[in-house]
Amino acid sequence: MLQIINAIFVVLQKGDIMKSNPIYRKILFIVSILVVSFLVLSICIYKYINNFGFVKEGSDISVTNYHGQLSAFKLNDNEVFFLGSNRPECPTERGACWIYNMPITETPSEIYNVKNGSHKIIHLPDNILYQPKGLLLNDDNLLLVNAAKTKKLPKDNIGIKGTDFSIYKTLILIDLKSNKIIQTYDKKINKKYEPNQQYTSYTLLNNGKILIIDFENKIAEIYNPKQNDSIIVDFPYNKNKKNVVLPYKQEQALIFGQTKNNYDDSDTVIIYDDKNKTFKEFGHTYRRSNPYIISLDENKYLILGGIIYNPHNAMNLDVREIEIFDANTGTYKIINQLPYLLKYDWRTDRNSFGIAFIDDRYVLLAGGTQGGYPFIRTLKSSLIIDTKINKIKKGPNLKYPFSSHQMLKVNDDKILIFGDDSWVYHKKIQIFNLNKRRY
């Protein structure tokens, strides 16, 4: 079509008709405007049809994701619950926390409505201390996993350090409807070992029990909320911190992460069986600590990101390999690699990003950081991973650069992006709106 229009222009320009008749000059001008408009419209339509969506700015939330401490739960297709805290806090958000007698500061929980952007502030009972870490057992019951029982406290100093994590030895179950404490339980593992934040995981199994693993002390505890009791089980594996534990089938869990002092290409996946109360080796994945994992179906898991320890130069290196782990066979397959942000520079690997399902085929990877200290920058870009053909394409940019954040698909239309833990420390919610025409 463009060739035909161009040929007409050439004929008109060569003849004297353009010089003698102003009408034809007007026609040429109008045709030129139409051609340019057609080209612009075609580009816009192409981008719209081939784009997975766009990101818009949401409102602020009061809760923060400082040091990765933030729990958020989908209540329904429109509402998300953000867990707050009640604990000794630093006088400033980034202040030094080594001082004693820090004031107890409550950060209220809140329910955010994605549809209308409203916030509902929730004040949990004030006679407990708790970190912003918990599990939603059902629509009404919230289990605080790092909590402490106290008498009713005034908002003043209590004589402990803000970084003193040893006081949080109690599980506290709260009814969100009545905002009352249902039951409390002192963790058995903390009668022998002090609570630690970085090495302990809490996983809600599909049978309703809670699997607690202290990777540093190689011990596990299985808590039954219905009976308000638990049992201790040895964890005979030497794993690094920041492992990922996912529920598997009805009463099992899979543990992914790097084994200490293991420098092979692959590493061991551990399975916990609640029926037999045992841990055993289950399969192998590519070696990495702190991986990002999404369950594609009951037996296949997309694994990416994380770090590996390089014994040759004593540095942690970001992992670019993307793999799929098959629980049926206990094996993994490398399907692609995260692209370099700049070629020929090992510091340009992307890390500290967020991931979420778009649908059963596509995965959204957004934000993160790039570079090594002191040249670290936080990213706004995103990627779309096609798990069907194992390809990666560019996604929409975020409104703000985020890192170490979380992403939660609320409904078929929207993915929430929140909890930025970069030095900018955004409290904004960003909303990824899915483009339905793309499907």
Specify the higher pLDDT residue, 376 or 372.
376
Cα distance between residue 109 and residue 125, in whole Å: 11
pLDDT at position 163 is: 55
Cα distance between residue 161 and residue 168, in whole Å: 13
Residue 62, pLDDT above cutoff 70: yes
Residue 272, pLDDT above cutoff 90: yes
Specify the higher pLDDT residue, 294 or 65.
294
pLDDT at position 120 is: 93
Specify the higher pLDDT residue, 283 or 67.
283
Is residue 392 domain-shared with residue 428, that is, in the same domain? yes
Would strands 266-273 and 128-130 be described as parallel, antiparallel, or unpaired?
A: unpaired
Inside any domain, residue 315:
yes
Residue 140, pLDDT above cutoff 90: no
Q: Which of 328, 239, 252 is nearest to 291 (CA)?
A: 239
Is residue 25 domain-shared with residue 63, that is, in the same domain? no
Residue 45, pLDDT above cutoff 80: no
The winner for highest mean pLDDT among 60-74, 246-260, 368-382 is: 246-260
The amino acid at residue 214 is: D
Specify the higher pLDDT residue, 393 or 104.
393
Arithmetic mean of pLDDT, 175-184:
94
Instruction: Give the CA distances from residue 90 to residues 161, 168, 394, 419, in Å, rounded to whole numbers and listed in that order.
Output: 9, 17, 40, 19
Inside any domain, residue 398:
yes
Q: Which of 434, 431, 363, 436 is nearest to 114 (CA)?
A: 431
Structure tokens at 132: 């912003």
Residue 439, pLDDT above cutoff 50: no
Inside any domain, residue 205:
no
Instruction: Give the CA distances from residue 29 to residues 12, 16, 38, 123, 370, in Å, rounded to whole numbers and listed in that order.
Output: 12, 17, 14, 66, 49
Specify the higher pLDDT residue, 276 or 376.
276
The winner for highest mean pLDDT among 101-105, 206-210, 285-289, 307-311 is: 206-210
Inside any domain, residue 308:
yes
Structurally, how many domains does the chain consist of? 2
Residue 330, pLDDT above cutoff 90: yes
pLDDT at position 340 is: 77
pLDDT at position 195 is: 85
| Strand order, beta sheet including 219-224 | 200-204, 210-214, 219-224, 229-234
Residue 154, pLDDT above cutoff 50: no
Arithmetic mean of pLDDT, 252-265:
84
Arithmetic mean of pLDDT, 223-252:
93
- Looking at every residue in the chain, the average pLDDT score rounds to 83
Is residue 30 domain-shared with residue 63, that is, in the same domain? no
Specify the higher pLDDT residue, 30 or 101.
30
Residue 12, pLDDT above cutoff 60: no
Inside any domain, residue 169:
no
283-286 contacts, C-beta under 8 A, 24 or more apart? 283/325, 283/327, 283/329, 283/330, 283/331, 283/332, 284/330, 284/331, 284/332, 285/256, 285/323, 285/325, 285/332, 286/319, 286/321, 286/323, 286/332, 286/334
Inside any domain, residue 234:
no
Quick one: DSSP state of residue 165?
A: G
pLDDT at position 164 is: 63
Q: Which of 369, 321, 367, 366 is nearest to 347 (CA)?
A: 369
Q: What band does 220 get if pLDDT is binned at 50, 70 and 90?
A: very high
Specify the higher pLDDT residue, 386 or 27.
386
User: Tokens 């992914």, residue?
Assistant: 256
Half-sphere exposure of 302 (CA within 13 A, CB side): 21
Cα distance between residue 377 and residue 58, in whole Å: 23
Residue 111, pLDDT above cutoff 70: yes
Is residue 63 domain-shared with residue 34, that is, in the same domain? no
Is residue 63 domain-shared with residue 16, that is, in the same domain? no
Residue 292, pLDDT above cutoff 70: yes
Cα distance between residue 416 and residue 61, in whole Å: 12
CATH code: domain of residue 294: 2.120.10.80
The amino acid at residue 355 is: I
Specify the higher pLDDT residue, 218 or 48.
218
Domain hosting residue 335, numbered range = 59-67+289-439
Cα distance between residue 125 and residue 206, in whole Å: 28
Q: Give the least confident one: 41-55, 200-214, 309-323.
A: 41-55
Cα distance between residue 136 and residue 125, in whole Å: 17
Q: What band does 43 get if pLDDT is binned at 50, 70 and 90?
A: low
List residues bridging with 148 in a β-sheet: 129
Specify the higher pLDDT residue, 386 or 19.
386
Residue 149, pLDDT above cutoff 80: yes
Inside any domain, residue 435:
yes
Half-sphere exposure of 429 (CA within 13 A, CB side): 25
pLDDT at position 19 is: 52
pLDDT at position 150 is: 77
Q: Is residue 428 packed enough to be buried (19+ CB in 10 Å), middle (13-18) or exposed (0-12)? A: middle
Inside any domain, residue 325:
yes
State what percent of residues in the chain have pLDDT above 70.
79
Cα distance between residue 297 and residue 168, in whole Å: 35
Q: Which helix (H) or strand (E) holds 392?
A: strand 391-394
Quick one: DSSP state of residue 289?
A: B
Q: Which of 303, 381, 313 is nearest to 337 (CA)?
A: 303
Cα distance between residue 280 and residue 38, in whole Å: 63
